[in-house]
Structure formats: structure tokens, C-alpha cells
Structure 1
Amino acid sequence: MSHELNPKARARLTASAAGGSILVAGLLVSLKLWAAWRTDSTAMLGSLADSALDLVASLATLIGVWIAAQPADEDHRFGHGKAEALAAMLQVVLIALSAFGLTFRAVGQMLQGGSVAAAEEGIAVSLIAIAATFALLAWQRHVIRRTGSVAIGADHVHYQSDLLLNLGVIVALALDQFAGFAGADPLFGLAIALWLGWGAWRASGEAINHLMDREWPEEKRTRFLEVLARHPELRGVHDLRTRTSGMHDFVQFHAAVDGAMTVSEAHRVMDELEERIERAFPGVEVLIHPDPEGRLTDQAERSDRSSLQSEELLPDIKTGKRS
């Protein structure tokens, strides 16, 4: 997965994906509103509720990625990246509410009975929804590969579930009206509700990781350490800390250099490290603390690695072990 885009390009891609979601969701809400009225189907009503929530969530996603793209200011020195995660969490809440409401409706219909009508029209609408969703998912996958956007990722989960949801509506309508299985519609409605609940659970994971400042994936950390290891004057690295906030990556670490270096020489090495990092990880914000070789910081001395010297940590750069 490649996320190394400049902020403007990333903002354009995420906005295009959010805008596409709004257009598709608006189309599907209109079609399914008509189909739900014509068929009186719980499964179709659940599909309508999901698409309506998709529309609200997509609007929240567009706002979230727009806010996240704003540059840092006096009140938000680390930028506005977490707006994406907040938008994703709003989507999770909406999906969960939709699942609860649909479950209530399906159980009620099971107890009261009833059948659907105009199945052909409901099936036609569901087929149109599937075609539109396939097109949107293809574009979202492209945007997620390029940007790693957590908000677009949560939106993508919505529309993945929509494929099965619309297939379920088609099967429920066909079984109910053409096969005489009157319980198919509420059963499929209940299954859709459970699927929505599972989707909400999955979508919440990455958003929570961003809000909680979780470390980069091990593969990305390893690649970062490999970039550092290529500098001939770097003797070791410790206290590496990483996090991602929306489109912004943040890194800080202690870099061990020759203890005989002057301040100017050590500063030159730090500048060169920053240039190498910028080439490999465009847009990342880096904070480096230089350490004379052979001396650990007070923080490191208090850690469970207190017996290690900075030069002994150099192999960690080569192997990519977590420092």
C-alpha cells in the first residue's frame, strides 16, 4: 500500500471518493424509497435505511476529509488529521443504529406476518444498486491504496456490505413472492441487520487506532529504520515513536552519533537524515534528538533496556526490530 502522496494530491483523491459516495448514495436512496413503498418489504426497507445512512455518512466523510486536509494552525499545531477518524466513528454509530432499527422491524414482521408485493420492481432497483456500488467500490479501492484514508476506508466497508445486502433483498423478494416462502423477507432483513452490526465493528477498529495514536504497522516501521540505517554516520537509534493522524505521519526518535562531533556536525547529520526520510516518506513530520554515542537518555536508562548501549542498538536498524 502506497500512501506517499503530497497533501494536495491526497486531498483531491479523498474528496473525489467522498463525492462519488454522495452521488451514489443519493441515487440509491431515491430508487429504494420508491421500491420500499411499492414492495412493502422489510429487506428493502433495511436496504433503504442503509443507503440513507450511507448518504449521511458520506456527507460526514466529505466534511471530515476536508477538515483533515486543512493545514496546521495556532490552535491545532499537529494539523486536523483526526477529523477523518471522527467522521469514521460517526459512520460506525449510524450503522449500529440502523442495524438495531432493522432488527426491531424484522422481529415485528415475523410475529405479525405479512407478504411483499411488486417483487419485480424491487429486484430491478436492487440490480441497479449493485451496478452503481461496483463502480464506486472500484474507485474507493484505488483511493485507499493511494492515500490510506481511514474515513474512505470506513465508507468502503459500507458499500462492500451493500453488495450482499442488495443480493439478499433480491433473494428475499423472489422467495417471498415467487416461491411462497412468506418468512423469507423478515429473515433476510434480520440477516442484513446482523451484517450491518458486524460491519460497524470492523469499521471502528482503524478509526480507534488513529484516535489512540497507535504505532505504524511493523512493515512500515522496518522500512523507516532501513532508510536510517543507510546513513554512514548514524551509530544507533532508540525510543522510536510513530503515529498517523489523517493524512499526516509523525515520527520522533533519538539518534546516536559520534560523541566527538561538534554541535554543527551533529546538526548536519540530522539534516541529512531528515532529507532521506522526506524522500522515502513525503510529508512526514520528524523530530530527532541527537545523542552522543555511548550515552543513553535518562528515559532509556529507566527502561527495561537500560543495559544496552546506543551502539548495541544499531543492529535493530538493520533487522527492523521494534526499538
Structure 2
Amino acid sequence: MTRTIDDQANLRVQAASVGVAVTLVLAKLWAVYVTGSLAVAASLVDSGIDLLVSLGGLWAIRYAQRPPDSDHTFGHSSAEDLMALMQAAFILISAMVIAGTALSRIGETSELGSEGAGIGVMVLSIVLTLGLVAYQTRVCRQTGNRVVAADRLHYIGDLVPNLGAILALAASGLFDVTLIDTVVALIAAAILAVGALKIGSGAWDALMDRAAPDDLSRTIDQLVADHPGIEGHHDLRSRTAGARIFVNLHLEIDGSLTLDAAHEIGEDIRRDIIARYPEADVIIHHDPV
């Protein structure tokens, strides 16, 4: 299958995401071993989830790029939403485990060690995450891919528990205060839970064929109003599936026009919609007035 430049960019950035996640998981495994920090462990779990999310995203992007076939005439982009829903469930369970472990440590005296080594690993994590986010931002602006955009937001969210882990390790090393470690773990669990619910909600809406955002309808209304030769429109319907937006639209056009002229007007509107929403799949029906 021939991939477009945007498809190749999406695959490359998602592969980079997998590489960063693998590096951070290995580094944080070592950091947890030498420090015993719950905050670092929470960050490790988050990086492990990142790895699963990134791998799932890579598979989903590759699968979604498959062309329509006789069994999937609208393409395969819903695979991205199905994967996101499963990932959200896993993230939510992980958040509950982290919170439970942190709560069980309240009132206990825990000893952290090798704080300097742990801080070094967390700094490495922040640097790699910032580099990946910058790369993802550039690709998002180029392709508008929603999977890459969601992965980018998730990595931005990782910066909070990473900074929190540094705070916990620094407090232990400088002031022998370990309660912060538990507090940071609870905050990290809350961040994971909120993110999981948001991801799951978006994936569920897409799988249930929820309409595209309201701004799409407003944009199409304006495009139709500004285009000469169109009397109006009706039966505007939309739905999302992965990175795709499917739009059905009935245009009201002067019935005395030739078929070629009416078709060209419809094609102008279709091109205008795709120019605003490159991921859109637009079907237009012409109704004579």
C-alpha cells in the first residue's frame, strides 16, 4: 500500500513515541530498585502505560491506513477508537492500584535511598518527554492526526508526576520527609484516572457514532452561505471514527443548471470542507430547487 507523506509522518512520530517509552520504562525500573520511591513507581507505571498506549497507537495508525475493502467500505479507522477504549480501562485500573498502595502506606515510615540517582532518571525522563512532545507538536500541525495529538497530550500530562517524583526524592534526601512520596503518588493516580475517563469517553462517543464537534456544522453553514449558486442545504450529518470525520450533506441547487454545473458546485464545497478538515470524508447529494 502506498502511504502519503502525512501517513509516513504519523508512523514515524508514533515509532519515536514507542522508543522513548521503552527507554523510560527501563530507566525507571532501575530507579525504583535503587530508591524504593512510590512516586517513582507511579511514574514507572505511567511510562509502562505510555508504552502500551504508544504500541497500541502505532498498530491502530497502521491498521487505520488500510484502504476500504469489501468488508469495511468506510475504511478501518474505528480501530483507533477501539484501542483507545481498551487502553482507558487499563489506565483506570492502574490508577486504582497506585492509589490503593499509596493509601496503605499512610502512617508507615518508609525509607528512600539513592535519591540522587532517582532524580537523575526523572530529569532524563523530563528531557526525553519534552523532546518527544516538540516532535509530536510539529507532526500534529502537519497532519492533524488525532491519535498523535492524544498521545502528545498524554505525554504532556506525564510531566506532572515526573516533577512530583523529583520533589519527593529531594524532600527525602534533604529533609528526611517521606510523606510527600505518598502524596505525589496519590496525585499521579488522580491524573491517570482523569485522563483515562477522558480518553474512554471520547472513544466511546466515536464508537457510538456521535456527531462531529459543533464547529464543523458552523463551518459548513458558513461555507454554503458564502458560495454562489447554492440556495441552501439540509440533512447535514456527521460522525467520527478514529482520525476520520464522515460528513453527509444535501445541497439545494437551481434545478435548471446542467448536471456538470451542479456537480462542480458540489465539488467546490467538498474541496472547501476538506481544506478545513483534511481528515474528512465528504459525500454530497444534490437536490434541485
TM-score normalised according to structure 2 size: 0.89
Please tell me whether the aligned partners of residues 10 and 147 of structure 1 are also in contact (alpha carbons under 8 angstroms). yes
- Unpaired runs of at least 5, structure 1: 1-5, 294-323
Cα displacement (A) at 1:44: 0.9
Within 5 Å, which residues of 2 pair with 1:218-229?
218-229=214-225
Aligned to 2:233: 237
Aligned to 1:297: none
Cα displacement (A) at 1:63: 0.1
Aligned to 2:129: 133
- What one-letter code is carried by the residue in structure 1 that aligns with 2:271? E
Is structure 2 residue 68 aligned with structure 1 residue 48?
no
Aligned to 2:242: 246
Aligned to 1:120: 116
Is structure 2 residue 148 aligned with structure 1 residue 155?
no
- What one-letter code is carried by the residue in structure 2 that aligns with 1:278? R
- What one-letter code is carried by the residue in structure 2 that aligns with 1:272? I
Aligned to 1:273: 266
Pick one of 184, 188, 208 that aligns with 2:184: 188
Moved over 4 A (4+): none
Pick one of 77, 84, 90 that aligns with 1:81: 77
Aligned to 1:310: none
Q: 1:260 to 1:272 in 2, by over 3 A?
A: closer
User: CA–CA distance in 2 between the matches of 1:276 and 1:283?
Assistant: 15
Equivalent residues, number:
285
Instruction: Please list the CA deviations of residues 69-101 of structure 1 after superposition, one character each: whole Å capped at 9, or x if unmatched.
Output: 111011000001111222222332222122111
User: CA–CA distance in 2 between the matches of 1:32 and 1:256?
Assistant: 61
User: CA–CA distance in 1 between the matches of 2:3 and 2:115?
Assistant: 48
Cα displacement (A) at 1:260: 4.3
Secondary structure of the 2:105 match is helix
- What one-letter code is carried by the residue in structure 1 that aligns with 2:68? A
- Unpaired runs of at least 5, structure 2: none
User: CA–CA distance in 1 between the matches of 2:144 and 2:100?
Assistant: 36
Secondary structure of the 1:235 match is strand
Instruction: Please list the CA deviations of residues 136-179 of structure 1 after superposition, one character each: whole Å capped at 9, or x if unmatched.
Output: 11112222333333322332232112111111001111112321
Q: Which moved more, 1:277-286 or 1:63-72?
A: 277-286
TM-score normalised according to structure 1 size: 0.81
Aligned to 1:213: 209
- What one-letter code is carried by the residue in structure 2 that aligns with 1:27? T
Please tell me whether the aligned partners of residues 168 and 178 of structure 2 are also in contact (alpha carbons under 8 angstroms). no
Q: How many percent of aligned residue pairs carry the same amino acid? A: 34
Instruction: Please list the CA deviations of residues 193-234 of structure 1 after superposition, one character each: whole Å capped at 9, or x if unmatched.
Output: 111112222333433332233333333333333333454332
Q: 1:249 to 1:92 in 2, by over 3 A?
A: same
